[in-house]
Chains A and B, each alone.
Chain A
Amino acid sequence: MTSGTITDGPALRDPHTPDSRLGHGADYLHAEHTLRSWFFTTDHKRIALLYLASITAFFVIGAVTAGLVRLALVVPDGQVFTNDTYNKLFTIHGVVMVWFFLIPSIPATFGNFLIPLMIGARDLAFPKLNLASWYVFMTGALFTLASVVLGGVDTGWTFYTPLSTAFSNTWVVPALIGVTIVGFSSILTGLNFVVTIHTMRAPGMTWFRLPIFVWTHYATSLIFLLATPVITVALILLIAERAFHIGVFDPAYGGDPVLFQHLFWFYSHPAVYIMVLPGMGVISEIVPAFAQKKLFGYKFVAYAAIGLASVTFFVWGHHMFVNGQSDFASVAFSVLSFAVAVPSAVKVYNWTATIHKGSLKLDTPMLYAMGYIGLFVLGGLTGLYLATLAINQHVHATYFVVAHFHYIMVGGTVLAFLGGLHFWWPKITGRMYNEAWGRISAFLIFIGFNVTFFPQFILGYLGMPRRYHVYPPEFQFLNILSSAGSTILAVGYIFPMVYLVYSIWFGKRAPANPWDARGLEWTVASPPPAHNFLTEPQAPKIPYDYPIQARETGRQHS
């Protein structure tokens, strides 16, 4: 790897020679060099990189266990792993992916890195709290990983009672403690973002000049603050019941197992929007930048973010249509769930309209964004199928559900995450990656994803229940197809891990604004200086001030 064709100098500069381009002070990566300067940093950008490293590690754990699950399902008779091993594998996959990757992914990395830059602030409102939230996150992760090392958990990521409280002989308590602790990290991050967005905006950065990325993180933070305490309480009650036999959920002690489902989904449905909203924020930055056109219906998209965050609190009961909830409640939750489609549709149609008559560059971030839109639409609409009572009665807890939530949560978060990673990579590292490899990875992931998960819609409709280690032989063909797709997906994931890391040392130096994008983060050097702005940042007069503005219909301004 000594070829000099795509490099123009060593990436790791002499620490004593500040980058001359910056005038004074080094960029945040090179300002200090000790390990201490990383692990005790209060710089939001460095904390974002701590998170990036952590969640990448969790993603790898989650992906490897997913691969093992898909490997096991190639044969219908469950010969690859024993039943207990299989159950532990899908539980670890779910727990790690949901709690340690999908939920923190975009907010903790890009949110941390970009919100202060986008609003023209030097840092988050509470820099030490920000560092503390990473330590809280890692403490929680330690507990959950301990449960895996000790022998695993087999309850599924949903921890339904009384299986989790009275019938599982696995390491449920450390896993639960880990997840509970991670919730506090979410709360701290959410609090930090809300206060920052309210109080630290640069002069002239009014609410309606904020990038949609900031709006969606504002909405996400509200969910963090309002919903996370509920799961914390639910999990603490669960731990108390398992450890001390306090009867809350287990009917043997006078409890109600459906109560746990209510508390669990009161958080965990909004949690889906914790994953989806930041992804929408990323896409709303990428699409205008690569169409060189103002985001269509900016205000509607901003309102839709707040609308989604609100509506999502009223739909948790759609997880319990066949779980013994009253029929009236089911009908109410069904119609409320349909209402979620409104703000979701807004976003998709607005992105499409943004592309219309734009000047499109089909670079890697844009390819990821377009892939995202496709997967998000499919995931969203199949959510309406599940919200339809009579259909839910058939496909509840089948592979249809597995396919649906992977389209929404993985399609909607991982593709946005990777799109964002490619979009802001030059800003974060100061280096360009290889564009051709980037495009190949976007295609591989899109194709691999669809081959993996689309057959699962059919499997579910045919009636294959989820979390099955042994399954009837008639489902084998579609399972093999799905597993084959997952290998394509795995290759697609490995690509960026290689060429992005390679670019850190050998990539071309990135200019401050390689995409000709708008937004304050592109006005500073790549990588940004340690204190973000060397001069007072100037908020743009309108958000997304791209060349193609044209005239506005509706009420006409000249």
Chain B
Amino acid sequence: MNPTDLALQLWPAAASATAVETDWLILAFTVLTLLLTVPVFVAITWFAIRYRQGEEADRSHGNTRSVLIEISWMLIPFLLTLIFFVWGARLFFVSKQAPGDAMVVEAIGRQWMWKFQHPTGQSEINDLHLPIGQPIKIRMISQDVIHNLYLPALRMQMATLPDRYTELWFKADRTGSYRLYCSEYCGTDHSKMDGNLTLMTQADYAAWLQNAGANQGGQAGAGRVVYESYGCGNCHDPGAKVRAPALAGLYGREVKLADGRTVTADETYLRDKILNPNRQKLAADYRQVMPAFRNVIPNDDLDRLLAYLKSSGATAQQEATPGGPVQ
């Protein structure tokens, strides 16, 4: 199921046994809550009508004190709710004890993207593909501020801290595409630090790993990291303060230059523009403000960056911010 199909759903999709049990816990707690509160609300409304000033009503023996009643309405709700403390704590503890055979996926949070690394070496950005039917442990850390990896379909989240590793584990049992988020406020683009969790059968996952380098992740994915780490998005992302050409979908397109010429934005052009943007290849309608990256960006990083720019030609709309117009 595509996450955007959920528009009117009131119950989030559950993709693991733990998630289903969490739902039962919440449902049962809600029933108890209603048992404890509905009588109070009904009583208040009923008394408000029945004992309104001027109404005929028996007001004798209106108690103002009773130790027995006091003790019972303190203790009974407390003891009843404790059932849910125990249930919740047990479920929490189970979700903290990862089985020894869990597959370990590394996650790195940084402003503002998630990077996931599969045990076989493939990595991906913001998207996470995982198999069902197998315990998976996500070991995570942050490169800057505190983030929080939130997987609603699994009813799980865990903070990523800049100084130490944290982890969460789960065993999913339903395939599908689900949201993943950063849930700890982490600065400017906190709300765009989200992505998709794709749960697949073991066979599909194996096939996906085979192709992972080709259709996403791989060089292009690593290039996205380079793009972020050199702060390219500060100017080139849609909505950036400094006006600079949007890069999504640029590769392979014709570019009109300031001097009237038209060139194709091929690999050479892009490479040239990054290393020495001051050459006579300024795009029309823009001022020259970009610094030169010659002797700044190592060759391998440059290759990855170019791979990312090339890949963003195909997935331009996806890479751009959701809903943000590509200028």
B299 close to chain A: CB less than 8 A: no
B12 close to chain A: CB less than 8 A: yes
Residues of A within 8 A of B41 (CB): 374, 377
B123 close to chain A: CB less than 8 A: no
Tell me how far the C-beta of B71 lies from the nearest C-beta in chain A, rounded to whole angstroms.
Answer: 9
A472 close to chain B: CB less than 8 A: yes
A345 touches B146 (CB 8 A): no
Residues of B within 8 A of A393 (CB): 22, 92, 95, 155-157
Residues of A within 8 A of B25 (CB): 388, 390-391
Residues of A within 8 A of B164 (CB): 324
Contacts A356-B51, A381-B33 given; does A370 touch B74 at CB 8 Å: no
Q: Chain B CB within 10 Å — which of A323, A335, A350, A373 has the most?
A: A323
Chain B stretch 184-232: residues in CB contact (< 8 A) with chain A: 184-192, 194
B324 touches A77 (CB 8 A): yes
User: Once the chains are docked, how many angstroms separate the CA of A76 from the CA of B53?
Assistant: 50
Residues of B within 8 A of A384 (CB): 29, 33, 81, 84
Residues of B within 8 A of A476 (CB): 7
Chain B stretch 31-81: residues in CB contact (< 8 A) with chain A: 33, 36-37, 40-41, 43-44, 47-48, 51-53, 57-70, 73-75, 77-78, 81
A322 touches B157 (CB 8 A): yes
Residues of B within 8 A of A377 (CB): 37, 40-41
Which residue of B33, B36, B158, B321 contacts A322 across the interface (Cβ within 8 Å)? Answer: B158
A435 close to chain B: CB less than 8 A: no
Contacts A291-B51, A327-B93 given; does A341 touch B78 at CB 8 Å: yes
B106 close to chain A: CB less than 8 A: no
Residues of B within 8 A of A129 (CB): none
User: Once the chains are docked, how many angstroms separate the CA of A384 from the CA of B62?
Assistant: 32
A471 close to chain B: CB less than 8 A: yes
Residues of A within 8 A of B313 (CB): none
Contacts A327-B93, A341-B81, A355-B51 given; does A463 touch B181 at CB 8 Å: yes
Which residue of A257, A370, A554 contacts B146 across the interface (Cβ within 8 Å)? Answer: A257
A163 touches B183 (CB 8 A): no
Contacts A77-B322, A384-B84 given; does A167 touch B6 at CB 8 Å: no
Determine the residue in chain A with the shortest Cβ distance to B239. Answer: A82
Residues of A within 8 A of B8 (CB): 477
Chain A stretch 443-463: residues in CB contact (< 8 A) with chain B: 458, 461-463
User: Once the chains are docked, how many angstroms separate the CA of A78 from the CA of B325?
Assistant: 11
Determine the residue in chain B with the shortest Cβ distance to A162. Answer: B145
User: Once the chains are docked, how many angstroms separate the CA of A476 from the CA of B6?
Assistant: 11
Q: How many residues of A are counted as interface, with CB atoms below 8 angstroms from the partner's CB atoms?
A: 106
B155 touches A394 (CB 8 A): yes
B135 close to chain A: CB less than 8 A: no
User: Once the chains are docked, how many angstroms separate the CA of A378 from the CA of B36?
Assistant: 11
A346 touches B152 (CB 8 A): no
B51 touches A388 (CB 8 A): no
Tell me how far the C-beta of A556 lies from the nearest C-beta in chain B, rounded to whole angstroms.
Answer: 10
A338 touches B81 (CB 8 A): yes
B293 close to chain A: CB less than 8 A: no
Chain A stretch 294-349: residues in CB contact (< 8 A) with chain B: 294-298, 300, 321-324, 327, 330-331, 334-335, 338-339, 341-343, 345-346, 348-349
A465 touches B92 (CB 8 A): no
A385 touches B26 (CB 8 A): yes
B181 touches A362 (CB 8 A): no
Contacts A154-B188, A391-B25, A470-B192 given; does A294 touch B40 at CB 8 Å: no
User: Once the chains are docked, how many angstroms separate the CA of A545 from the CA of B5?
Assistant: 61
Interface residues of B (CB under 8 A from A): 3-12, 21-22, 25-26, 29, 33, 36-37, 40-41, 43-44, 47-48, 51-53, 57-70, 73-75, 77-78, 81-82, 84-85, 87-89, 91-93, 95-96, 111, 144-146, 148, 150, 152-153, 155-159, 161-164, 166, 179, 181-192, 194, 239, 321-324
Identify the 8 closest CB pairs spanning chains A and B, nearest first. A77-B323, A463-B152, A357-B62, A251-B163, A389-B92, A388-B88, A390-B91, A394-B155
20 further interface pairs, Cβ-Cβ under 8 Å (given A257-B162, A298-B65): A154-B188, A252-B162, A257-B146, A293-B62, A323-B184, A334-B89, A345-B74, A354-B64, A356-B63, A358-B62, A362-B52, A374-B41, A384-B81, A387-B85, A390-B88, A393-B156, A462-B11, A465-B181, A548-B62, A554-B65
